Amino acid sequence: MSIRTKAVWLLLVVIELFILTGCWNRRELNELSIASAFGFDKKKDQYQLTVQVINASEISANKSGGKRLPVITQQLAGGATIFESMRELTKTTPRKIYSSHIRIVVIGEKLAREGIAPVLDILSRDHELRTDFYFIIAKGTKAEDILKVLTPLEKIPSNKLYSSLNSAQNSWGVTSKIDLHELIFDLVSKGKDPALAAIKISGDPEIGESQKNLDSVHPPVTQEYDGMAVFHEDRLVGWLNPFESKGYNFIRGQIKSTIVTVGCPSGGKISIELLRENTKVKARVNDGKLNMEVKIQAEGNIGEVACGSEDISNPETIKGLELAANKEIERMASASITKAKQLKSDIFGFGNAVHRSHRQLWYPLEKEWDEHFVHLPVNIEAELSIRQTGSVVESFLQKMKGD
Amino acid sequence: MLENGQISRQQLFILVFLFSLGSAILIVPSAMALTSKQDSWISALLGVLLGMLLLVLYHSLGKSFPNQNLVQYSEIIAGKFVGRLISFLYLTFFLLLSALVLRNIGDFMTTIVMPETPIQAIFILFMVIIVMGAGLGLEVIGRAAEIFLPWILLLLFILIVFIMPQMEMNRLYPIFEASVKEMIKGSLTILGIPYLELVIFLMILPYVRQTNKRGNAFLWGGFLGGLVLSIITLLCILVLGWDFTSRHSFPSYTLAKKIQVGEFLQRIEVMMAVIWFLTIFFKLVLCFYAAGLGLAQLLRMQTYRPLLPPLALITVVLALIVYPNNVYFRSFASQTWFSYALIFGFIIPITLLAIHKLKKN
């Protein structure tokens, strides 16, 4: 290589150094306000956006003294569109909101009753948002109030909402995690209506938003999941109570684990912990009439025996318990179906099941599916198998009674 | 000879495979889902079968002139004037395709990864590499493909395996809901992108070392490329549902976003984007190389290399003005592109082949 070519190469390398740093759009952490939750409400004609912004310096582990709040909730009853209000927030926040880390979107009851579809478009269009956050509905209150409550066990309240939604679904089965993708899917498909987890505030919201809520051993204000919100198309039409919500989750096959409680013949109760659950929903045609078949299969262990007279060590007793538990599951499931039929909302996706297996039958029904759903016979069959009895077999209660 | 380098059959196979994936992997699932809904994967397989017929056509045309490329033998077949006109038209096709592919990667970067970066910056950076690659010649491109293939396969494997937990079989049903007409209309998408574009390999086939069995490598490359496209389409439907797939600009990227294995393996979509970068690189470099080589042959030049920088400038500008926005592109890709590509990918090649066979007899 001659000196000249070497010089040219060197020059090229130096120029590359400038081009290839690749930081055109870089945003440093100190230039961002990381949002952890959005809340949407409607005030008159305007959308009101509430954003929970993480106060990064308070979250860090080695903070030194100072009692500033871990999060700040900002809201603005701003523009006619949500995008407008989001940008308008920069008037009050020091930095631009960065929304990739959203965990939860709360929607106020009033907005939910008027229709949630308008707020969803921006959430799916903005490239910054991922689709892995969950939707919850503020029952009897505004989204704003839910997001204002400070939580003692989690520094970031939206993390509390997120993880308690997770654990309530995974170990109790009364809520449902629905992300943006699933929600839009439900809204678009004609044979299924959405159902979202509902949350309420217990206590006075005014106290909840101050430091007082963090100072007490027994926090006066908490957010609490309470059943589910039933939608028809994109409008809220009613609520499922926890019992019905469990039934809903049984039919949807979304139970990871839950407790089924059955009574002993002699009084007292036995709790069975479900560990596995699997549901098959099938549309069947008998004599030209459409009916649904729901088969719930579950496996569980005996978790608590609170009656002395039952002899758990007897296989016959176990069989009897299984039958009683089946009845109980069927009761929950049919309670949720009855409620959904009252509300004319096919939250179970029965319509989609018909579409999948009997599409010729589906096309004429498609348009007035709500009417057909109300009169749709549903056959529920639960089959629970008890596998273990925990670390003991017979309960010591039996011995005590015997003496 | 303008191009003295030669590639092996294996390299041809890899180049065809990567070429069929490039940009198609981003565009095809969405366009297909729009017409044939949850049956898109059937459409895709149908398109692959039809596409194989096209590849057989290209192969038999290439076989008739084992040591010459399209620009050279179109003059022999159709006479000096018409032949050169045809060659010229092909060069515009290659150049337009280069611009479209460049725009694809630019659009992808500016919508998903870096929305505030001017698209020109991405074009220019990408084009610099392309000029460099095309300038180094076919041999280097072939060897680069060999080096990158394992990585692309590895990433595809990761994508397919880790997305499996998110699949929902219900999304496929009812099968065969789309009518035959919709099914065929959907298959035209995959026929247009990439199969009709594979006509570019008529410029490259003569440089394959072993002329006798190169047909196999060509057909297998195209077939496996189409198969991967069908699998990605199927995954999009299983994971996202047809509705979501059709509404998203880049569903395969959204697919990668869905990967979530436990709490630790997630948000790896930008890593997956490496698949598109690499495959689009090979598609673009081959298009651009074919345009440069063909132009040099048409102008009877000794080397094609001086043509590359001006062609690159044209490509960058063309990519900027080739369509105004992505809505326009979606309707262009699904409605216009097929008939346009049909002229170059089917009508001209089959006419050339027919004339050649008639002349011989």
Q: Give per-residue pLDDT as tens, A346-388.
A: 999 999 999 888 888 888 888 888 888 999 999 999 999 998 8
Cross-chain residue pair A127–B243, CB shorter than 8 Å: no
Range A103-127 average pLDDT: 88
* pLDDT value, residue A264: 79
* pLDDT value, residue B263: 72
Mean pLDDT for chain A overall: 85
* pLDDT value, residue A76: 64
Range A134-143 average pLDDT: 92
pLDDT tens by residue, B45-68: 999 999 999 999 999 998 888 888
Burial class of residue B47 in the structure, from the number of CB atoms within 10 Å of its CB (0-12 exposed, 13-18 middle, 19+ buried): buried
pLDDT tens by residue, B165-176: 888 888 888 888
Cross-chain residue pair A359–B116, CB shorter than 8 Å: no
* Residue A314 scores a pLDDT above 80: yes
User: Residue A30 — very low, low, confident or very high, per pLDDT cuts 50/70/90?
Assistant: confident
**Which residues are within 8 A (CB) of A218 and not within 5 positions of it... i.e. 6 or more apart?**
none
CB A272 within 8 A of CB A325: yes
Cross-chain residue pair B117–A189, CB shorter than 8 Å: no
* pLDDT value, residue A309: 67
CB B104 within 8 A of CB B26: yes
Which one has a higher pLDDT value, A241 or A398?
A: A241
* pLDDT value, residue A82: 80
Cis omega before residue B194 (within 30°)? yes
* pLDDT value, residue B168: 86
Residue A171 to residue A180: CA distance in whole angstroms: 23
pLDDT tens by residue, A156-193: 888 889 999 988 888 888 888 898 888 988 898 888 99
* Residue A338 scores a pLDDT above 70: yes
* pLDDT value, residue A1: 66
Range B154-163 average pLDDT: 91
Give B123→chain A minimum CA distance, Å: 13
Secondary structure of A26-54 in HEC code, one letter for each residue? CCCHHHEEEEEEEEEEEECCEEEEEEEEE
User: Residue A47 — very low, low, confident or very high, per pLDDT cuts 50/70/90?
Assistant: confident
Which chain B residues touch A355 with a CB distance below 8 Å?
A: 173-174
* Residue A75 scores a pLDDT above 70: no
Residue B242: what residue type?
W
* Residue B151 scores a pLDDT above 80: yes
Q: How many residue contacts between A and B have a Cβ separation below 8 Å?
A: 39
* pLDDT value, residue A78: 62
Comparing C-alpha atoms, which of A334, A324, A321, A255 is closest to residue A294?
A334
Any bridge partners for residue A302, and if so which?
A272
Q: Minimal Cα distance from A125: which residue of B?
A: B248
DSSP state, residue A391: B
Comparing C-alpha atoms, which of B119, B127, B286 is closest to residue B194?
B286
User: Residue A124 — very low, low, confident or very high, per pLDDT cuts 50/70/90?
Assistant: confident
Residue B326: what residue type?
N
* pLDDT value, residue A216: 80
Residue B344 to residue B324: CA distance in whole angstroms: 24
Alpha helix (H) residue ranges in chain B: 9-21, 24-36, 40-64, 70-78, 80-108, 119-136, 138-163, 180-192, 214-247, 251-257, 269-298, 308-321, 326-331, 337-342, 348-360
**Residue A274 burial (CB count, 10 A):** 22
Q: Is the pTM value of this prediction over 0.95? A: no
* pLDDT value, residue A45: 77
Cross-chain residue pair A19–B125, CB shorter than 8 Å: yes
A170 touches chain B (CB under 8 A): no
* Residue B144 scores a pLDDT above 90: yes
Cross-chain residue pair A188–B117, CB shorter than 8 Å: no
Query: Which region among A6-15, A16-25, A143-152, B83-92 has the lowest average model confidence (pLDDT)?
Result: A16-25
pLDDT tens by residue, B316-345: 999 999 888 888 888 888 788 999 999 999
B355 touches chain A (CB under 8 A): no
Q: How far apart are the first and last CA of chain B?
A: 30
Comparing C-alpha atoms, which of A267, A241, A229, A274 is closest to residue A109?
A229
A130 touches chain B (CB under 8 A): yes
* Residue A65 scores a pLDDT above 80: no
Cross-chain residue pair B174–A352, CB shorter than 8 Å: no
Which chain B residues touch A25 with a CB distance below 8 Å?
A: 114-117
* Residue B313 scores a pLDDT above 90: yes
Residue A29: what residue type?
L
Range B180-190 average pLDDT: 89
DSSP state, residue A102: -
Task: Name the CATH superfamily housing domain B9-321.
Answer: Amino acid/polyamine transporter I (1.20.1740.10)
Cross-chain residue pair A130–B116, CB shorter than 8 Å: no
CATH numeric code, A242-403: 3.30.300.210
Q: Where do the domains of chain A lie?
A: 29-240, 242-403
Question: For chain A, what percent of residues have pLDDT higher than 70?
Answer: 91
